[in-house]
Amino acid sequence: MDAILETQGLSKQFLGFTAVGDVSLSVRRGSIHGLIGPNGAGKTTCFNLLTKFLPPTSGTIRFNGRDITRMKPAEVARLGLVRSFQISAVFPHLTVLENVRVALQRQRGGSFDFWRSDSVLRRFDARARDLLEDVGLTAFAQRAAGELPYGRKRALEIATTLALEPTMMLLDEPTAGMTAEDVDRIVTLVKRVAEGRTVLMVEHNLKVVEGLCDTITVLTRGRILAEGPYAEVSRNPEVIAAYLGTDPSITGAAAHG
């Protein structure tokens, strides 16, 4: 298997509490990989470790054949491993267009030219508009990002992430707190943008997971409980037990399966 992202024995302890323990994860290139588990299972912590927002207590991370265990988060992003956040992360007082442009601006390399007018950034406008169109935000281009409804903010985040042309995207609960139509929109969007990239996503909505993910990994209390295709994992009795009482939908889904 051609793994784009691989971890070996990845662990993170907070003052003795093991949030992530001995996680060896392997994400196949070009796949959409789901990371699921009950609240507090350590999914976000995993993301923070993978993108270097947190240093691991032990273990190694390889991305695209390189050991990134000791890298800084900005360097990891520059290698093409780009994350979104569980809590929507936009630049609220910039316009929607400017939000995307800030990401496109990275193509210039460093932007330390404080003496130049920002009108030089206009050359990114066309591309930014294309990206906004992709996520259905064209009508909002000149609005402040902070004023967008929640679902639109998530869409903006995805557009901003895509602006970097990432090799791999990590999406932390892209559909959390959304209305049904918003969820559908995001699912379609993720499916489309996953063409030619790898996606690792945390998701609580198991319908979404079932529809999108090629492989899923179940995490409970920081450890991997099961891994495999959705149909297989959702039948696993241990997984059902771990979810019982926390999320009835998986037991329901398991029952059909």
Partner 1 sequence: MAGQATAFTATAQQSPGLPGLAALGFNRAQSIAFLLLLGLLLVGPFVLYPVFLMKLLCFALFACAFNLLIGYVGLLSFGHAMFFGMGGYVTAHAAKVWGLTPELAILAGGAVGAVLGVVAGWIAIRRQGIYFAMITLALAQMIFFVCLQAPFTGGEDGIQSVPRGALLGVFSLAQDMSLYWVVAAVFLAGFLLINRIIHSPFGQVLTAIRENEPRAISLGYRVDDYKLMAFTLSATLAGIAGGTKALVFGIATLTDVYWAMSGEVVLMTLVGGLGTVFGPVLGAAVIVSMQNYLAEFGAWVTVIQGCIFVACVLAFRAGIAGQLGRWLRVRL
Could you list the residues that contact partner 1 (CB under 8 A)? 51, 53, 72-75, 77-78, 82-85, 89-95, 98, 101-103, 105-106, 108, 110-118, 120-121, 142-144, 146-147, 160, 164
Q: Which residues contact 166 (CB under 8 A, 6 or more apart)?
A: 80, 81, 82, 197
For residues 130 and 135, give the distance between their C-alpha atoms in angstroms, rounded to a whole number: 9
What is the SS3 assignment for 71? coil
For residues 257 and 255, give the distance between their C-alpha atoms in angstroms, rounded to a whole number: 5
Q: What minimum distance in Å lies between the beta carbon of 84 and partner 1? A: 8
* 40 contacts ligand ATP (rule: CB under 6 A): yes
* 205 contacts ligand ATP (rule: CB under 6 A): no
Residue 8 vs 86, nearer CB to Mg ion: 86
The only residue of 37, 56, 166, 174 in contact with ligand ATP, by rule CB under 6 A: 37
Q: Looking up tokens 């496109």, which residue turns up? A: 104
For residues 205 and 121, give the distance between their C-alpha atoms in angstroms, rounded to a whole number: 38
Report long-range pairs for 128-135 (Cβ below 8 Å, ≥24 apart): 128/97, 128/100, 128/101, 128/104, 128/163, 129/97, 131/100, 131/159, 131/162, 131/163, 132/96, 132/97, 132/100, 132/156, 132/159, 134/159, 134/162, 134/189, 134/192, 134/193, 135/159, 135/189
CA atoms within 13 A on the CB side of 71: 21
Query: Which residues form the interface with Mg ion (CB under 5 A)?
Result: 43-44, 86
The only residue of 16, 39, 180, 195 in contact with ligand ATP, by rule CB under 6 A: 39
Q: Looking up tokens 């003795």, which residue turns up? A: 16
Single-letter amino acid code for the residue at 57: T
Kindly report the number of other CB atoms within 10 A of residue 71's CB atom.
Answer: 18
Q: What minimum distance in Å lies between the beta carbon of 243 and partner 1? A: 30
Candidates 42-50, 63-71, 153-161, 239-247: pick the segment binding ligand ATP (CB under 6 A): 42-50
The only residue of 7, 11, 31, 44 in contact with ligand ATP, by rule CB under 6 A: 44
**Residues numbered 5-34 forming contacts with ligand ATP, rule: CB under 6 A:** 14, 19
When CB distances are held under 5 to 8 angstroms depending on the partner's kind, the choice from Mg ion, ligand ATP, partner 1, none that residue 40 binds is ligand ATP
When CB distances are held under 5 to 8 angstroms depending on the partner's kind, the choice from ligand ATP, partner 1, Mg ion, none that residue 45 binds is ligand ATP
* 52 contacts ligand ATP (rule: CB under 6 A): no
- Number of residues this chain uses to bind ligand ATP (CB under 6 A): 11
* 216 contacts ligand ATP (rule: CB under 6 A): no
Q: Which residues bind ligand ATP (CB under 6 A)?
A: 14, 19, 37, 39-45, 86
